Structure formats: C-alpha cells, structure tokens
Amino acid sequence: MKFIELAKRRCSIRGYRPDPVPDEVLNEVLEAGRLAPSAKNLQPYHFIVVRSDAGLDALASAYPAPFFREAPVAIVVCTEPSKGWTRDRHDGKNYCEVDAAIAADHMVLAAEDNGLGSCWVAAFDPAKVREAMGLPKGVDPVILLSLGYPDAPGREKTRKTLEELVCHEHW
C-alpha cells in the first residue's frame, strides 16, 4: 500500500473488540517506534506496554473514557527530558516531546498497517499515570496510545485544506 493510502486510512478508533493483539504484531508496532528519528538520535523516550487487567485498570483511573479501558493494549510513551536534545545555542528549547510524538506516530501508523486501531490520548491525569506506572523522577508520561482491533470501520477525516495550511516563500 502506498504511504498516502495508509495515512488516509488511519483514524482515531474509540471502540475495540476484545480480541488480543498477537505478540508479533505488537512487536512490529514497537519496532516502528524504535526506528523513528529523534533529534541528534538521542532517543529520549521509553514505551511501557500495558496489557494486564490491573495495569489497564490503573491507567483507566487516569483517563476514564470507556474506549480506553476497552482496548486490550495501552502504550505509555514517556520522555526523559534530561536526555533530550536542547537548542542550547539559541533558546534552550527541549525537543524530547517532538521526538516522542514522532515515535508515537510511527507506532500508530504501523498499527494501522497491521489492521489495528489506535487512539492518541493526552487528556490524562499525569499524576495518576506516574503513580500507576511507577515512573521515576525525571521521566514524564507524554502520550497514551490505545491499541486493539476496531469494532467498526473508520470514518472520513475532516481536515483543513492545503490552501489553509500551506504558504509559499513566506508567511
């Protein structure tokens, strides 16, 4: 499949069948995250795979939307800001969240490529995720991904037009 078809097909899935995700499929999703580019190749992230009822229950307390607990797998994408690249010569901006987002996007696209649905989740309570996952100081949860087989086909996307998004040569 051409990449553009995969990008068109992927959409946020908020309803999952209970079928388990085979290890080889999950490993391919994680491998896609591992292969993602990062600033200076520092890879300042960790992926925590949660599949147990206890772990999923604990995460659901941080993000109680029913679809999230329905998914058989969650991946907690964490960053370690002290290990990320910072634009020190100019403004000191830390790029670890950009790196983590690229890795997460590689994972959701690999999930789609394997027939899995996924949803990015940022609206969680970070203190509860920290506690549920036992995150040490200096490691922050950035994104939760729900993963599982969709219970319904995907939807059409609503997006701004290219005219609204793209400028040429200057703002």
Ligand X SMILES: Cc1cc2nc3c(=O)[nH]c(=O)nc-3n(C[C@H](O)[C@H](O)[C@H](O)COP(=O)(O)O)c2cc1C
Residue 86 is encoded by which pair of tokens? 């910072």
User: 66 or 136: whose CB is closer to ligand X?
Assistant: 66
User: 13 or 25: whose CB is closer to ligand X?
Assistant: 13
User: How near is the Cβ of 84 to ligand X at its closest, in Å?
Assistant: 17
- Interface of this chain with ligand X, residues 151 to 170, rule: CB under 6 A: 157
Q: How far apart are CA 59 and CA 131, in angstroms?
A: 9
Largest CA distance in the chain: 53
Residue 105 is encoded by which pair of tokens? 């996007």
Size of the site for ligand X (CB under 6 A): 8
The one-letter amino acid at 89: R
User: How near is the Cβ of 122 to ligand X at its closest, in Å?
Assistant: 4
Site string for ligand X, 7-46 (x = CB under 6 A): ----xx----------------------------------
User: 6 or 122: whose CB is closer to ligand X?
Assistant: 122
The one-letter amino acid at 137: K
Site string for ligand X, 88-127 (x = CB under 6 A): -------------------------------xxxxx----
Residue 163 is encoded by which pair of tokens? 């005219």
Give the sign of the dihedral formed by CA 20, CA 22, CA 27, CA 29. Answer: negative
The one-letter amino acid at 128: K
- Residue appearing with tokens 């068109």: 8
Which residues of the shown chain bind ligand X in the complex (CB under 6 A)?
Answer: 11-12, 119-123, 157
